[in-house]
Structure 1
Amino acid sequence: MSRVLVVDDDAAIRTVVAQALRRAGHEVITAETLAQLDRALATSMPDVLVSDVVLPDGDGIARMAEITARMPALPIIILSAQNTLTTAVRAAEVGAYEYLPKPFDLDDLTRAVSGALARGSVSASLPVSEDHALPLIGRSPAMQNVYRVIARVVSNDLTVLISGESGTGKELVARAIHDLGHRASAPFVAINMAAIPRELIEAELFGHERGAFTGAAQRNAGRFEQAAGGTLFLDEIGDMPMEAQTRLLRVLQSGEFTSVGGARTIRSDVRIVAATNRDLAVQVAAGLFREDLFYRLNVVPIALPSLRDRRQDVALLAPHFLEHAAAQGLPRRELADDAMAALAAHDWPGNVRELENLMRRLAVLARDEVIDAPTINALLGDRPVSSEVPDPGIAAAVRHLVDRIGSERSGALEDGTLYERVIGEVERPLIEMMLARHGQNQLRAARALGINRNTLRKRLDTLGIAVSGDEAGERS
């Protein structure tokens, strides 16, 4: 029978955890202080150590570092209510097998204990910063998952692909991976693929020689050279042209490249972190993104949640942004309780970036030092706030449709028919839905759509929609 030592100063947590582990077939020893932990280690060597971070007589993680140095084979599972990126990284630094933020699921803990017994500890060596120096804020379960992945990748050079809607903080994650890793003293270089003309992307990435093209008056180092020894962040990778994808794939495979117009082979020593707000798997299926490049980039995926999927973090983010605005010389503001409730209820289509911009506007435009809900709603454009999550599927469906049209034949997106084809695809189900709702009555359907009956008839003919019923229900 395996022996598990559980250390937590909360008696209720010790009891519940001990009961769950005993039901799973483990022998359990408990302690509530670091002193008791030391005595337990001296008298009965456990197979797994489960410990809280904040204990009455000291820092649990700091003590775990000492224990790991003495007992490197002892797997450690860290529990903490301090659910920040720093805590996750510190847990990885001391070689913890797993980090579980409180509140945690008991099934997750028992699985972690079983995994620790089977695999042993995983050590890492990571630099640690204070929370105020870290750009990522949030204690929601969704962000805890992000922190745990970051903590595991900063000690290696695996390629990371960050996905998420615009404004979720993809570059912040990339910077955290760089700043907390062993390449932190080297450059962090970012390039936005969507912001560079297609014909210049290769020169931007790989550099160019003098005379390589019209206007190339001197040799310029590309982003790969600029990031030597550090991290190259490829933002909006889904917008990269196919020909540039081919060259990037070659660099990732061989670790070497040549500048545009050059003959000398240059060795690449960079960590690649890519990001996209597109579904690259859909793009691959549509023939718009190379499948082999996708798998080269998607070694460690990190999916960032939208702000509406972690609304509880608004209460941390909003005051932080107001404080940051004040530090930059803007008026100091505070949020009333009803203002915080209004912020938490908003849908945030622009995600964290929208929230940050709103806080800056409030700092400048709010009349009172304490901001209330009406002020919030006024700056949101008098839009009613809603606790319902908007359906993100419409934009994704349109994007998928455009990708599909583009994959049908060369030039399909530039032949002047794209608007009509996309509108036709959206218009057909809308008209059919209104006809069905109004018993195939064209007049009533036209009124509901806000168009006249003749326009509706023309669209029915153009779209080839057959209407059933008595002359399509012409009588109103």
Structure 2
Amino acid sequence: MSYQFTQIEQLIARGCHSEALKALEVVLRIDPDPTYWDCCSPAGSTLVGDSRSWNEIAKLGESLLRLFGESKAKPELSRVHGLMGYISLRLGSIHQAEAHFQAAIHILTWDLDDLPQSLRQQRRLAIVLKNRGLFHQARFEMERTIGLADQHGIERESLANRLNLSIVLLKMGRLSEASVVLGQLDQLAGLTTDTRYRVRIHLVRANYLRITGHPAQALELLLPALQTTLEEQYTREEAITLEYTGDCYLAQKDYRKALEHYERAMKIAEAAAPEGDVIPEVCHRMGETFIRLGDPNTAILLCERGFRVARALGDRYEECATHRVYAMAHRAAGNPKKALRIIDEGIDLGRQYEIPYELGRALTWAGETRLQELGPDEQAHGRQQLWEARAIFERMGLLPWVRSVDRLLGFESQSEATLDQPNTSAVDNLGDLDRGALRFGIVTCNRKVREAVEILQSVAPSQIPVLITGESGVGKELLAQALHQMGPRRKEPFVPVNCGAISVNLLDSEFFGHERGAFTGAVSSREGLLASSHKGTLFLDEVGELPSQVQAALLRVLETGELRAVGRDDVRKIELRIVAATNTRLEDLVDRGLFRQDLFYRLNGIRVTIPPLREREEDIRALFRYFWSQATTTAKKRLTIEDGVETVLCAYDWPGNVRELRHEIARVVALAPDTSLVRGESFLPQIQRKDIASLRRDRERRDEMAEERLQILSALRAHRGNKAEAARSLGGMKRTTLIYKIERLGIRPDEYQVRE
């Protein structure tokens, strides 16, 4: 049954408000129990084909909102708010749409206690947040809704929100997490008879495959899906399937086929929703295809249309994506300066809204374009942008893009860490695994370690010194090696130096080199560690143990870039990057006069801190699986692990950190007979008689003692070793009590005495 606007107005005038609401829902095809709802692409009838009609609908909705508000009819009021959210979004009023959906959610949750309807409105709100570029908030809403839907067995909302979550994760560049959600969707798809949802799952999966560099596999999903959409007359899904199919042909450089599919998608989108969200998506894709086919002017017009619609809808993702194609079109049309201004605007947008995939693509194009410029400043800017793009693609695990950027930078591509190798396949099912870091041998699921790796990737192209801090055994040298491999010095030497292991008498010779006959025993000339690191990276491990005389000489080398070997009068120019690591606080050593303040400032360019293993339970599990697979493969043994072993290992505090864990696994594998079951008691014999609860209590006690030790050391240093003054500053503690604690905690005088 079709309703004209005048009929709805007449229903309102006669006081038939509920009938008017139902009629308006029919006009918009907002079914009280919809099988599908999308915020930006109404499947509405021809009655609502232009903005004037939508404004008339909005007025009707406002009338119903006022009337139901006055009568306090809560069920109808919640429906009108949901309706007005939809209408506001269709008119481009994003903030009003969000307010209406939140009002509907409030009524349904607190007044009506209607969880299914509340979850439906929460899903709509999350889609609004997604289209505004607020991906983190959208993800939070979706995950919360999924939890409630699973808890109460509301399968439709669980499926629908997971589908939307997978799309958000792809836009956020969280590909590994998106893959996990897609796996859950595959399982749920087998439980539903809704063909439309199955098609949508295939679409998201195909998009994931295309982004990760597998367009042929994506086409295997898309072509049957296209047939289904034609048979079932799923108009919107047909348009998106054609769009994604065009993407695959574009990736395969079959531009004619790509354009054919994009044009079909555009025809459908224009008929269904000429101002809907599919329009900007297809516009910039068609634009890129026209550029490849030699028609940049048509591409410019398409991008301008895409900009207009995307901005009206608040779709930041498509706005960012359109900037890259718009810049490409202007450069192809002979306006390179304008092209660079446009792409820089898109890059700023990608950073602001955290759109890593499109940001990486924009940076890659901008960097490649600037490398072709004649000016050295533009070329340097271009290389910086390429390194930033490389870091983004590395974090996302998009190795084809990484190799592409490597070629632009003039480097041979690094060998991949393939996930079917024994030592990496063991951690392949960990959703939080940082696959970009895995390429450098860094196995982590921990947020803080991932952030440290991201910082290193960001500074890799520069020459700024890096200071890595953390307890002994956490993997500081591994991070330094990763930094070396990430940067342009990867083909040059990486020279590690343990500053505490070099003889004091040979420090000058070891660092600066010597000539034959420079001192007794110098039977031949030798190049020092600094000269060996020329154009490469010098890694100073435990830099706090450097003697003061070497600190002064090293500082001069870092400031001037000049090196003079022992026994020579001339100087040599060197250029290198310094990466330092320490397990102590260099600031404390500076305060005590044991480390030069000027050298500390020189080394402390960028600081990253690696937390101890006891604070990273997720990494204990990941590293255990990684090292176990590595050790059993090396030993050629087939061993089975008893359930609960990982729980015991996570309860232990690992004072030796990753190094201790690796050696413990190697010991257990070496002692275990082939094909045997390895039980929990095989690990950590020193804690065999303790249960998990006592292990965790031990860890807490050690943490408390470490904190107390730090407080006492700070007090002793502040009072220059005066125990009576330090005791008084610690809450009026007795001097004898402080001495007892110093002995119990193993505090040595050299840890707090200040050099005069």
Does residue 652 of structure 2 align to residue 346 of structure 1? Answer: yes
8 Å Cα contact 1:138/1:317 also seen in 2 = yes
8 Å Cα contact 1:283/1:403 also seen in 2 = no
Does residue 699 of structure 2 align to residue 393 of structure 1? Answer: no
Residue of structure 1 equivalent to 2:485: 179
Deviation at 1:402, TM superposition (A): 8.9
Deviation at 1:95, TM superposition (A): 7.5
Q: 1: distance between equivalents of 2:326 and 2:689?
A: 56
8 Å Cα contact 1:79/1:99 also seen in 2 = no
Q: 1: distance between equivalents of 2:390 and 2:561?
A: 32
Deviation at 1:66, TM superposition (A): 7.9
Say which SS state the counterpart of residue 429 (structure 1) adopts: helix
Does residue 736 of structure 2 align to residue 428 of structure 1? Answer: yes
Q: Counterpart amino acid of 2:453?
A: Y
TM-score (norm 2): 0.43
Say which SS state the counterpart of residue 644 (structure 2) adopts: helix
Q: How does 1:53-452 map to 2 (within 5 A)?
A: 70=328, 72-73=343-344, 74-75=346-347, 76=350, 77-78=354-355, 92-94=388-390, 130-131=416-417, 133-329=439-635, 331-367=637-673, 369-378=676-685, 382=689, 385=692, 386-387=695-696, 388-389=699-700, 390-391=702-703, 392-393=706-707, 396=710, 428-429=736-737
Does residue 134 of structure 2 align to residue 21 of structure 1? Answer: yes
Compared CA separation, residues 67 and 39, structure 1 to 2 (3 A): same
Q: 2: distance between equivalents of 1:171 and 1:332?
A: 31
Compared CA separation, residues 156 and 341, structure 1 to 2 (3 A): same
Deviation at 1:199, TM superposition (A): 2.0
Per-residue CA deviations over 1:289-313 (Å, capped at 9, x if unaligned) read 0011001000010111111111111
Per-residue CA deviations over 1:418-450 (Å, capped at 9, x if unaligned) read xxxxxxx998326889xxxxxxxxxxxxxxx9x
Percentage of matched positions with identical amino acids: 30
8 Å Cα contact 2:509/2:565 also seen in 1 = yes
Per-residue CA deviations over 1:99-151 (Å, capped at 9, x if unaligned) read 799xxxxxxxxxxxxxxxxxxxxxx9696663454211101111121121111
Per-residue CA deviations over 1:154-190 (Å, capped at 9, x if unaligned) read 1222111101000000000000001121111111111
Q: 1: distance between equivalents of 2:550 and 2:609?
A: 25
Deviation at 1:205, TM superposition (A): 0.9
Q: 2: distance between equivalents of 1:252 and 1:280?
A: 18
Unaligned runs of 5+ in 1: 4-9, 53-62, 81-88, 102-123, 409-424, 434-448, 450-476
8 Å Cα contact 2:512/2:565 also seen in 1 = yes
Q: Which moved more, 1:180-189 or 1:386-395?
A: 386-395
Q: Which moved more, 1:335-344 or 1:178-187?
A: 335-344
Does residue 340 of structure 2 align to residue 44 of structure 1? Answer: no
Deviation at 1:339, TM superposition (A): 0.3
Compared CA separation, residues 235 and 16, structure 1 to 2 (3 A): same
Deviation at 1:64, TM superposition (A): 11
8 Å Cα contact 1:258/1:266 also seen in 2 = yes
Q: 2: distance between equivalents of 1:223 and 1:348?
A: 33
Structure ranking higher in strand proportion: 1
Say which SS state the counterpart of residue 588 (structure 2) adopts: helix
8 Å Cα contact 1:202/1:260 also seen in 2 = yes
Compared CA separation, residues 377 and 155, structure 1 to 2 (3 A): same
Compared CA separation, residues 79 and 23, structure 1 to 2 (3 A): closer
Say which SS state the counterpart of residue 495 (structure 2) adopts: strand
8 Å Cα contact 1:237/1:275 also seen in 2 = yes
Say which SS state the counterpart of residue 233 (structure 1) adopts: strand
Deviation at 1:373, TM superposition (A): 2.3
Compared CA separation, residues 265 and 359, structure 1 to 2 (3 A): same
Per-residue CA deviations over 1:230-273 (Å, capped at 9, x if unaligned) read 11111110000011000010011001110112212011121111
Q: 1: distance between equivalents of 2:529 and 2:717?
A: 29
8 Å Cα contact 2:281/2:306 also seen in 1 = no
Unaligned runs of 5+ in 2: 1-91, 95-122, 138-166, 172-203, 212-243, 245-277, 285-302, 329-341, 358-384, 398-407, 419-438, 722-732, 745-756
Say which SS state the counterpart of residue 137 (structure 1) adopts: coil
8 Å Cα contact 2:387/2:461 also seen in 1 = no
Q: 2: distance between equivalents of 1:186 and 1:293?
A: 25
Per-residue CA deviations over 1:377-420 (Å, capped at 9, x if unaligned) read 43656555523443233665687689789x88xxxxxxxxxxxx
Q: 1: distance between equivalents of 2:323 and 2:444?
A: 26
Q: 2: distance between equivalents of 1:246 and 1:431?
A: 36
Q: Which moved more, 1:277-286 or 1:37-46?
A: 37-46
Q: 1: distance between equivalents of 2:487 and 2:326?
A: 21
Per-residue CA deviations over 1:335-389 (Å, capped at 9, x if unaligned) read 3330011111111111111111111111112356443323224365655552344
Per-residue CA deviations over 1:1-26 (Å, capped at 9, x if unaligned) read 999xxxxxx999755544783999xx
Q: Counterpart amino acid of 1:93?
A: A
Higher normalized contact order (CA 8 Å, seq sep 6+, divided by chain length): 1
Q: Which moved more, 1:326-335 or 1:203-212?
A: 326-335
TM-score (norm 1): 0.65
Compared CA separation, residues 285 and 327, structure 1 to 2 (3 A): same
Q: 2: distance between equivalents of 1:262 and 1:370?
A: 64
Per-residue CA deviations over 1:67-105 (Å, capped at 9, x if unaligned) read 69846321333469xxxxxxxx9994258599799xxxx
Q: 1: distance between equivalents of 2:481 and 2:136?
A: 43
8 Å Cα contact 2:639/2:676 also seen in 1 = yes
Q: 2: distance between equivalents of 1:221 and 1:49?
A: 59
CA RMSD of aligned residues (A): 4.4
Say which SS state the counterpart of residue 444 (structure 2) adopts: coil
Q: 2: distance between equivalents of 1:223 and 1:286?
A: 28
Structure ranking higher in helix proportion: 2
Compared CA separation, residues 219 and 94, structure 1 to 2 (3 A): closer
Compared CA separation, residues 66 and 182, structure 1 to 2 (3 A): farther
Q: 2: distance between equivalents of 1:181 and 1:295?
A: 23
Say which SS state the counterpart of residue 176 (structure 1) adopts: helix
8 Å Cα contact 2:495/2:537 also seen in 1 = yes
8 Å Cα contact 1:157/1:271 also seen in 2 = yes
Say which SS state the counterpart of residue 347 (structure 1) adopts: coil
Say which SS state the counterpart of residue 312 (structure 1) adopts: helix
Residue of structure 1 equivalent to 2:376: none
Per-residue CA deviations over 1:17-68 (Å, capped at 9, x if unaligned) read 44783999xxxx988647468426445336899779xxxxxxxxxx999869
Q: 1: distance between equivalents of 2:716 and 2:489?
A: 39
Q: 2: distance between equivalents of 1:395 and 1:128?
A: 45
8 Å Cα contact 2:306/2:322 also seen in 1 = no
Q: 1: distance between equivalents of 2:131 and 2:317?
A: 12
Deviation at 1:152, TM superposition (A): 0.5
